[in-house]
Structure 1
Amino acid sequence: MIAAPQAAPVVTLTQTAAARYVVLDIETGDAPEDAIQAALGSWKAPKNWKPETVEKNRAEAAEKIRSKAALLDASPILCVGARTDREAIMFNGMGEAGPLELSGWSVRSYPDEGAMLAGMAAWLDTQTDADTILIGHNVRAFDLPKIRGAFVRHRLALPACLKPRTDGSQPMTDTMSLFKSFSMEHRDAFAVGLDVVCTAFGIPRPKQVISGDDVPRLHREGHFAEILIYNAIDVDATTEIYRLMMA
């Protein structure tokens, strides 16, 4: 007896579209002056300090706030690098970056932060689902809070995968925290830089003459391409770190 031919399994878009993981990294520019002034105004000295101590510490606090203005909630997100197990997308919210070649990357440029976030949200909602792992270096304490706050500032709906969930249903891996399980030397450190982890794991990095602290200045000077390249390098390094630790 000849068995009846079996129908081929039907594969729907929802079964194949979701990425297994997405590695995220952002770069930020300086906050607006009014936000900087608000941060300066919120600094308060203890009542028992002498006047000269107050002035000295007020000046030091002001210098620190200005030098770290890119970390304030109001600071704009300039770009978001996103790499999945299938593709790498650079969302650029600074306008046209000029001649740029990022090997293995697709660059999408937008006129401003709000348009960039809307474009990124549309992409994430089509490429991720509740099982997609969110990955980043210090992603819990920096990248995700900054991204979520920016969506609220622009009154945009968060993509499903970025909505905070108290039950932890969206899987997440912070490579900075995870690295402490692989290092005796750094297991008790509060923070571990990406370069430190790359050195520990022998991951080669392109020679760079800039760091994250240089990004606001580069933005002010119009060096958009350099910022995007720097971001892409960090995303690629974070992806390799994740693969090594989860192999």
Structure 2
Amino acid sequence: MIATPHTAHVVTLTQTMPVARFVVLDLETGDAPEDAIQAAIRQWKAPSNWKPETVEKNRAEQAEKIREKAALLDASPILCAGLRSDREAVMFNGMGDTGPLDLPGWTIESHPDECAMLAALGQWLNAHTDDVTALVGHNVRGFDLPKLRGGFVRHRLPLPACLKPRDGQGQPVTDTMSLFKSFSMEHRDDFAVSLDVVATAFGIPRPKQYVSGADVPRLHREGQIAAILTYNAIDIDATAEIYRRMMA
């Protein structure tokens, strides 16, 4: 008697790992390389009607401002990317060994450099999101999403599906900074609103922090990786709670 062939049941990734309804994300960046800073300084142009002495004075001031905000240049490295979904929280660290670090509720993936970190991040996003997963963040439209896309392109890595520009409606995105203006008369006309301001307005307690985003490049130079990851996780947890309250 010949046995009837049996086809094994194939379990797909989406069957075993349902996609997230939302993903709150936040990045921390380090200083751009010196050549990129110099290029940005050279690109500054003074109005043609300025006097030479005015041009030189302002050139020096602009150069100082560019150096102070070198972490915002396109060439600046992404040091870490924290993601909190409705299912889990994962911190992608591209700075190597963290040293002693306790982040309750977080899984930490450490990688030797930015490229390896982004490759792992891309795999996570492809596995945990689909075209209706909401991408959430504070100023996520103005900073985090374009910065992420630029990082993948710089390293010639394929963009995760949720980050690809699409015709039509595109990936759902909720920017808590701009959305907050719909909840506030006081700040509705502000160009930018800090995460601390929004958390305070919603009565969300924040741990005392002795650093801000502007301190991250210095902390990176000093090798304080754990401090950077902790700061990132605190901001993401606050943003996630703000999002839940806004969408409740």
Structure 2 residue 143 is the aligned partner of structure 1 residue 142:
yes
1:56-111 Cα distance to aligned partner (Å, 9 max, x none): 10011000000000000000000000000010000000001101110100000000
Which residue identity is paired with 1:14?
T
Equivalent residue, structure 1, for 2:178: 177
CA displacement 1:145-165 (0-9 Å, x = unmatched): 000000000000011111122
2:167 and 2:61 map into 1 onto residues whose CA distance is 38
Aligned length: 237
**CA–CA separation in structure 1 for the residues paired with 2:233 and 2:167:** 31
- For 2:159, the equivalent position in structure 1 comes to 158
Instruction: Name 1:168's counterpart in structure 2.
Output: 169
What residue number does 2:14 align with? 14
2:228 aligned residue: 227
Unpaired runs of 5+ residues, structure 1, are 1-10
Give the corresponding residue for 2:4: none
How many angstroms does 1:46 deviate by? Answer: 1.4
Q: Take 2:109 and 2:164, find their aligned partners in 1: how far apart are those partners?
A: 23
Residue equivalent to 1:244: 245
Match of 2:202 in 1: 201
What is the CA-CA distance between 1:45 and the residue it aligns to? Answer: 1.1
CA contact 2:94–2:112 (8 Å) conserved in 1: yes
CA distance in 2, matches of 1:43, 1:139: 26
The whole-number CA distance in structure 2 between the counterparts of 1:96 and 1:183 is 42
Contact 2:13 2:127 in 1 (8 A): no
Cα separation, 2, equivalents of 1:12 and 1:121 = 19
The runs of at least 4 aligned residues of structure 1 exceeding 2 Å deviation read: 11-16
Offset of residue 166 of structure 1: 3.6
Task: Give the aligned partner of residue 94 of structure 1.
Answer: 95
TM-score by length of 1: 0.94
Report the CA distance between 1:14 and its aligned residue: 2.4
Aligned partner of 1:3 in structure 2 is none
CA distance in 1, matches of 2:79, 2:170: 29
Cα deviations by residue, 1:195-241 (Å, 9 ceiling, x for unpaired): 00001111000000000000000000100000000000000000000
Shift of 1:12: 6.5
Compute the TM-score of the two structures, normalised by the length of structure 2: 0.93
**Structure-to-structure mapping, 1:23-172, within 5 angstroms:** 23-172=24-173
Structure 2 counterpart of 1:8? none
Q: Matches of 2:62 and 2:210 in 1, distance apart?
A: 28
Root-mean-square deviation (CA, aligned residues, Å) is 1.1
SS in 1 for 2:96: coil
1: distance between equivalents of 2:88 and 2:151? Answer: 24
Q: Tell me how far 1:114 sits from its aligned partner.
A: 0.2
TM-aligned CA deviation for residue 13 of structure 1: 4.8
The sequence identity of aligned pairs, in percent, is 76
Post-superposition shift, 1:168?
2.4
What SS does the corresponding residue of 2:142 show, helix, strand or coil?
A: helix
Secondary structure in 2 matching 1:181: coil
Greater Cα shift, 205-214 or 42-51 = 42-51
Segment of structure 1 superposing worse, 172-181 or 161-170: 161-170
CA distance in 2, matches of 1:196, 1:29: 24
